[in-house]
Amino acid sequence: MSNKRTYTIYTDGACLGNGGPHPRAGWGAVLRNPEGDVLELAGPVPEEQPQTNGRAELLAIVEALKAIRNPAIIEVFTDSEYIANVFNKWLDGWIERGWRKADKKPVAHIDLWEELVRLRGVHQLTVAWVKAHNGIEDNERADRLANTGCYKKRVRSRIPATAE
C-alpha cells in the first residue's frame, strides 16, 4: 500500500485574442488535497513566451504539479482533449523520436512537455479529459482562474475544506 497522498487537480488555459495580433494568455488550476482543502492558482503566460491557448493549458498543469512538493498520486483533469491525448497516447513516442510528432514536425512547447515528463517521474500521474463548461464545479473554477490570468493577475488562495 502506498503512503503517498492523493490530490485532484483541475486545470484550464485561456487566451484572449488567440491567434490575433495581441493575444493575452493565462492559466488556472484548482488543487484538492486528501482532506478536501483547496488551493486556487492562476497567472499569466509570461510576456516573452508564446501567448497561445495551448501553452496556457499546458502551463496550468505544470504550475499545479510544481505546487505539490512531495511525491504524490495525482489525478489531473483538463478540458484540453489534445493534452489528455498527448499524455496518454503520444508523449512517449514524441520522446523516442527526439521530440518530433508522428509527422516528423517538432513538438510545440517542448520546455513545458519536458518539465511535465520530469514531474511525471516525481509523481504518479493520471491525466483525464473532461468536457468544458459542463457543470463540473472545479473545472468551471479553473476556467475563471485562467481568464483572471489573461489580465496579468496572479492568484494563490488557500481555502480550507470547512470554508467551502
Give me the active site residues, please: 12-13, 57, 79, 133, 143
All three cell numbers of 31: 488543487
Position 147: which residue type?
N
Residues in a beta bridge with 106? 100
> DSSP per residue over 4-30, as a string?
-EEEEEEEEEEEETTTSSS-EEEEEEE
CA of residue 77 relative to chain centroid, distance: 8
Position 140: which residue type?
E
CA distance 31 to 156: 11
> Could you give phi then psi for residue 50, rounded to 5 degrees?
-55, 130
